[in-house]
Amino acid sequence: MPTRVLDLNLEQFPPELPDMTGYQAALLLYRWGNVPVGQVQLPVVNGRISIPELQAAIFKPENLPLWQSMARDLHGWDGRNHSALPQVTVAVCTRDRPEDMRRCLDAFMQLPDDGQEYLVIDNCPSSDATEQIVKSYGERVRYVRENRPGLNIARNRALAEAQHEIIAFNDDDAVPDPGWLRALRSNFADPEVLCVTGLTMPLELETAAQELFEQYSPFGRGFKRLVYQGSPEMALAAGRVGAGANMALRRAVVALVGGFDEALDAGTLTRSGGDTEMFARILLHGYQIIYDPMALSWHRHRRTWEALQHTAYGYGVGIFAFWTSLLLRERFLGVLTAAWWYGWHYQLPQLGRALLRRPNSLPLALAWAELRGCLVGVPNYLLARRRLTREAA
């Protein structure tokens, strides 16, 4: 049975929640004001959740994000520098997902107007469906067709086409919260910050595949704002800082550390890894990345078991592909240690737990799909690079 996803404002705590008949559990994101401060998952019994149980799960002494947010609200303290903030281009890279694209653009229209532009990069489409949807929004959204397939190719096109200093990327299958863009933008007052990521929650958990994805590879990185100082050590842990579904970059990143590696991510043989490789390179060059949970977006996870297996395989390919990219392009030998640690301390134990069917382990097919991807990550990256070289020639 599915899990209901709810958004709860604690300042307007309801006497009861909506009827949830047909759901086995509920995942609740809760906020104080507009600030996300935590999440909790509780069972649904006879279509209801126990309000006392919910309150006990939320108002715990150790729930620091909640108490800190309440204290800031009480004293009227923001702590952010909102002066002289750069203007933003909001970019979506898409390929043959017109329904998702319309939902995403509808959400953009609900964002406060701070002078941002909206840009859609249509990556090697098979029809004009996306173009027609974008045209229905008139001059509010700019359409650009990029015929070379590859998500990182589309991202680089967005960096080149953007009219403003900051480019905020939102996936076509994600719906930004109304405060998303202002939260991202507010972190760019410091010129040392090259990238900001945000909190990404599941838009729905209606299928077993979506629930398993949220267990296996959630996009959320917690409810505390974090500043990652650039260093080689931090670059090895770049996966912690966020996800490309919800990130913003200075356009100057191209001149300072280089653009996205076009041999990586969806639409290429490497399938993923393009966002994490960029995070790692920013940190390796000594710049800052900020994770801010106030920049909230809601992501529609893959709905079918086949799509989930495809995603797991792609993640396996992508992680070893982006390590190969850092090794060849940046001469960063630290990735050799990271690859050994990942395989020995994470990948093999995960497969072993799946084989033994230990509690809370992944299904064997999913663990095996990721491992198969890891095994071809290096050669697939080399082939993808060779293909790019031939195309350039």
Q: Is-contact 236 338, C-beta < 8 A?
A: yes
Domain boundary pick from 26, 53, 75: 75
Domain check: are 53 and 159 in the same one? no
Domain boundary pick from 285, 305, 325: 305
Domain check: are 187 and 300 in the same one? yes
Backbone angles phi, psi at 388, to 5 degrees: -65, -40
Q: For the chain, what's the residue count?
A: 393
pLDDT category, 15, cuts 50, 70, 90?
Answer: confident
Does some domain include residue 287?
Answer: yes
**Among the listed residues 254, 263, 134, 106, the one whose alpha carbon sits nearest the alpha carbon of residue 144:** 134
d(CA 93, CA 152): 9
Helix axes 274-284, 151-161, angle to 10 degrees: 60
The total of structural domains in the chain comes to 3
Q: Is-contact 198 180, C-beta < 8 A?
A: yes
Does some domain include residue 204?
Answer: yes
Instruction: Give the model's pLDDT for residue 261.
Output: 98
How large is the C-alpha radius of gyration of the chain?
Answer: 21
Domain check: are 195 and 267 in the same one? yes
Domain check: are 247 and 376 in the same one? no
For residue range 244-268, list pLDDT tens digits in order.
Answer: 999 999 999 999 999 999 999 999 9
Does some domain include residue 318?
Answer: yes
d(CA 136, CA 186): 30
Does some domain include residue 83?
Answer: no
Q: Does 198 have pLDDT greater than 70?
A: yes
Domain check: are 56 and 169 in the same one? no
Mean pLDDT, the chain, whole residue set: 95
Domain check: are 97 and 243 in the same one? yes
Q: Which long-range contacts (CB under 8 A, 24 or more apart) does 181-184 make?
A: 181/88, 181/90, 181/111, 181/112, 181/114, 181/116, 181/295, 182/112, 182/114, 183/292, 183/294, 183/295, 183/296, 184/88, 184/248, 184/292, 184/295
Does some domain include residue 332?
Answer: yes
Domain check: are 117 and 216 in the same one? yes
The residue ranking higher by pLDDT, 217 or 258, is 258
Domain check: are 99 and 215 in the same one? yes
Burial class (CB in 10 A: 0-12, 13-18, 19+), 337: exposed
Domain check: are 260 and 126 in the same one? yes
d(CA 10, CA 367): 38
Does some domain include residue 195?
Answer: yes
d(CA 193, CA 187): 8
Residues 94-112: what's their mean pLDDT? 97
pTM: 0.96
Q: Is-contact 300 204, C-beta < 8 A?
A: yes
Does some domain include residue 286?
Answer: yes
Domain check: are 276 and 136 in the same one? yes
Domain check: are 242 and 277 in the same one? yes
Helix and strand numbers, DSSP H then E, in the chain:
14, 12
* Angle value at C-alpha 50, between 44 and 52, nearest 5 degrees: 155
Does some domain include residue 81?
Answer: no
Q: Does 90 have pLDDT greater than 90?
A: yes
Q: Does 35 have pLDDT greater than 80?
A: yes
Supply the CATH number for residue 94's domain. Answer: 3.90.550.10
Domain check: are 109 and 214 in the same one? yes
Residues 189-201: what's their mean pLDDT? 96
Domain boundary pick from 250, 282, 305: 305
Burial class (CB in 10 A: 0-12, 13-18, 19+), 327: middle
Instruction: Give the model's pLDDT for residue 14.
Output: 86
Supply the range of the domain harboring residue 47: 3-75
